[in-house]
Amino acid sequence: MTRTIVLMTILAVACLPAGGCGKDDSRGGGPAKGKTVVRFLEGPDNGGGWKEIVSRFEAAHPEIDVELVEGPASTNTREEMYTASFLSGDSTYDVICMDIIWVPKLAAQGWLLPLDDRLPPNEREKFLPGDIQGSIYEGRIYRVPMRSDAGMLYYRSDVVTTPPETFEDLVRLSREHQKPPGMWGFVFQAKQYEGLVCNFLEVLWGHGGDVFDGTGRVILDGPEAVRALTWMCGLVRDVSPEGVTTYQEEESRHVFHEGHALFMRNWPYAWTKAQEEGSPIRGKVGIVPMVHAPGKSSAATLGGWGFGIAKSAKNPDAAWKFISFATAEAQQKTLHLRNGAIPTRRSLFQDPEVLAESPHYPDLYKVLLAARPRPVHPRYPEISDAIQRHVSAALVGREAVEEALKHTAAEIRKIVGR
């Protein structure tokens, strides 16, 4: 029997500290009584910008305790954490820090509070137009933009003097200067994942096409879409390495960053990395909006993050106080300077301090002004998966271009029910 007792004791000891911690309020560090708690989940706060913003806010509002939960770096994982807490109907998070594509989905479930009264039109005008547009679902606004993001074209300014404007330019210049396998023409993101949709939409929009027309009809099997996907499929093994169909952001950046590609489609973060000390392409990189067809205009896919209020929030007014504080100019500037976040307020793109830190912002501003949100629909994840599946199939030669688009359009029609 002694052995059993020893075993049980070890067990108890192992569990004790755990049980002890379990006593702690699920609200975390245990705020002082009477304080309102506002909790939100963000990625890891590497530059410390968020901690500074939170402590500044708490100094100004001693009655509110803001709790920043640092989640994993992967956005999918954070979406899962928010979704789990919404589905279980509890109020773990009061403020929702959300990706632009979550807005329609969460709003349609009735999980978010509309913010129309709190964010009047004259306030909205101070933000980048795409960021606001992507925060609206069925006429109501649910999100205040905090960080912006958009796709653009990087080029090697030491090789190419005039950056390309059209799809033909891009391919022509690539063929002219590339020497595979040491130097490829163009790298982008074509793995079967959300990034593929962003890349495809930019090409589609640049050809004058779209997923839905103005009335909500699916036009993804139209002639513009065929031209767009045909162009994309032509890149693989011509000016892009075969493996581009396995690339996410980082894979394409590594190839470009190490000087093995002339052009790259990527988000603004790659610029910061390219200009770092010790970067092999430092000072040799330019950015322009994505190329377009002659007579059409460039378009960037909009990313970016912003704040909404959960319907289950215990104190929406306190949550709003924090949101309006965090998205104000001073705090966006802090987050830019410390964490490298791209502001969503237009005025900051002329701010001397911001420009001193990021001299490329006038160029980036042009890209952001032309950025468009992805299709706004509560069932966007399914729409996205249909596009991913068939565009990927076309890129690896499993489906012909027309066939792939016909399937995608048919699946999307089924999803949206029209």
Partner 1 sequence: MRRLCLASGLAFLVVFSLGPFVWSFLTSLKGGRELFSIPPTYFPQSPSLEHYTGVFEQRPFARYIGNSLIVGAGSTLIALGAASLAAYALARLRIRFSGAFEKALLLLALVPPALLVIPLHDAARLTGLSNSRLALILIHAALNLPFAVWMLTAFFRGIPGELLEAARLDGLSRVQILRRIVLPLAAPGLAATAILVFIFSWNEFALALTLLTRDDVRTVPVGIAMLSGVTVYEVPWGQISAAVVMTTLPVVAAVILFQRWIVGGLTAGALKG
Partner 2 sequence: MRHLYLLPAAILVFGILGLPLVLTVSRGSGHFAALFSDATLGSVALTTLAFAAVSVTLEMAIGLGFALLLQQTIRARGLFRAIALIPWALPTAVMAMSWRWIFNDVYGVANDMLLKVGLLHEPIAWLGRPGTAFFALVAADVWKTTPFVTIILLAGLQSVPRDLHEAMSVDGAGPVRRFFSLALPLLRPAMAVAVTFRMIQALGIFDLVWVLTGGGPADSTRTLAQYVYETLFRYLNLGYGAALTAAVVLGAFLLASGVGAAVRGKPVL
Output 24 or 158, the one with its CB closest to partner 1: 24
Determine if 251 is a binding residue for partner 2 (CB under 8 A): yes
Which one of 45, 47, 56, 83 is in contact with partner 2 (CB under 8 A)? 83
Radius of gyration for the chain, computed over Cα atoms and rounded to the nearest angstrom: 24
Determine if 308 is a binding residue for partner 2 (CB under 8 A): no
**Rounded CA gap, 290 and 207, in Å?**
11
Determine if 191 is a binding residue for partner 2 (CB under 8 A): yes
Cβ atoms of 210 and 221 closer than 8 Å: no
Of these partners, partner 2, partner 1, none, which one is at the site of residue 334 (CB under 5 to 8 Å by kind)?
Answer: none
Of these partners, partner 2, partner 1, none, which one is at the site of residue 43 (CB under 5 to 8 Å by kind)?
Answer: partner 1
Helix/strand/coil (H, E, C) string of 22-78? HHCCCCCCCCCCCCEEEEEEECCCCCCHHHHHHHHHHHHCCCEEEEEEECCCCHHHH
**Rounded CA gap, 197 and 190, in Å?**
8
Output 389 or 406, the one with its CB closest to partner 2: 389
For the segment 108-147, give every residue that binds partner 2 (CB under 8 A): 109
In the complex, the smallest distance separating the C-beta of residue 51 from partner 1, rounded to whole angstroms, is 12
Of these partners, partner 2, partner 1, none, which one is at the site of residue 10 (CB under 5 to 8 Å by kind)?
Answer: partner 1
Relative to beta strand 144-147, strand 305-309 is: antiparallel
Determine if 246 is a binding residue for partner 2 (CB under 8 A): yes
Which one of 27, 140, 179, 398 is in contact with partner 2 (CB under 8 A)? 398
Stretch in the footprint of partner 2 (CB under 8 A) among 15-23, 29-37, 75-83, 297-305 = 75-83
The DSSP element (H or E) to which 136 belongs, if any, is strand 136-137
Determine if 399 is a binding residue for partner 2 (CB under 8 A): yes
* Tokens coding 277: 């000390």
Q: Which of 367, 4, 408 minimizes the C-alpha distance to 150?
A: 367
**Rounded CA gap, 174 and 291, in Å?**
13
Cβ atoms of 202 and 299 closer than 8 Å: yes
Contact residues toward partner 1 (CB under 8 A) are 3-4, 7, 10-11, 14-15, 17-19, 21-24, 26, 28-29, 41, 43-44, 46-47, 69-74, 77, 80-81, 84-85, 87-90, 92, 149, 249-250, 253-255, 257-258, 260, 267, 269, 272-273, 278, 280, 340
Of these partners, partner 2, partner 1, none, which one is at the site of residue 330 (CB under 5 to 8 Å by kind)?
Answer: none
The DSSP element (H or E) to which 329 belongs, if any, is helix 329-339
Which one of 255, 300, 302, 416 is in contact with partner 2 (CB under 8 A)? 255
Of these partners, partner 1, partner 2, none, which one is at the site of residue 131 (CB under 5 to 8 Å by kind)?
Answer: none
Determine if 381 is a binding residue for partner 2 (CB under 8 A): yes
Stretch in the footprint of partner 2 (CB under 8 A) among 20-28, 191-199, 213-221, 273-281 = 191-199
Of these partners, partner 1, partner 2, none, which one is at the site of residue 210 (CB under 5 to 8 Å by kind)?
Answer: none
**Rounded CA gap, 130 and 344, in Å?**
10
Output 255 or 341, the one with its CB closest to partner 2: 255
DSSP characters over 185-203: EEE---SSSHHHHHHHHHH
Q: Residue 140: what are its φ and ψ, rounded to 5°?
A: -115, 145
* Tokens coding 299: 């378009």
Cβ atoms of 145 and 306 closer than 8 Å: yes
In the complex, the smallest distance separating the C-beta of residue 359 from partner 2, rounded to whole angstroms, is 30
Of these partners, partner 2, partner 1, none, which one is at the site of residue 135 (CB under 5 to 8 Å by kind)?
Answer: none
Of these partners, partner 2, partner 1, none, which one is at the site of residue 392 (CB under 5 to 8 Å by kind)?
Answer: partner 2
**Rounded CA gap, 25 and 7, in Å?**
30
| Measured CA angle at 298 (ends 293, 299), to 5 deg | 130
Within 13 Å, how many C-alpha atoms sit on residue 399's CB side? 18
Determine if 8 is a binding residue for partner 2 (CB under 8 A): no
Determine if 34 is a binding residue for partner 2 (CB under 8 A): no
Which one of 90, 123, 168, 258 is in contact with partner 2 (CB under 8 A)? 258
Which one of 126, 177, 254, 366 is in contact with partner 2 (CB under 8 A)? 254
Which residues in 148-249 belong to E strands, given as ranges? 152-156, 184-187
* Tokens coding 200: 């495809």
User: Other CB atoms closer than 10 Å to residue 344's CB: what's the count?
Assistant: 25
Determine if 392 is a binding residue for partner 2 (CB under 8 A): yes
* Tokens coding 226: 């065929």
Residues that bind partner 2 (CB under 8 A): 79-80, 83-84, 87, 105, 109, 181, 191-193, 241-246, 251, 254-255, 258, 260, 379, 381-382, 385, 388-390, 392-393, 395-396, 398-399
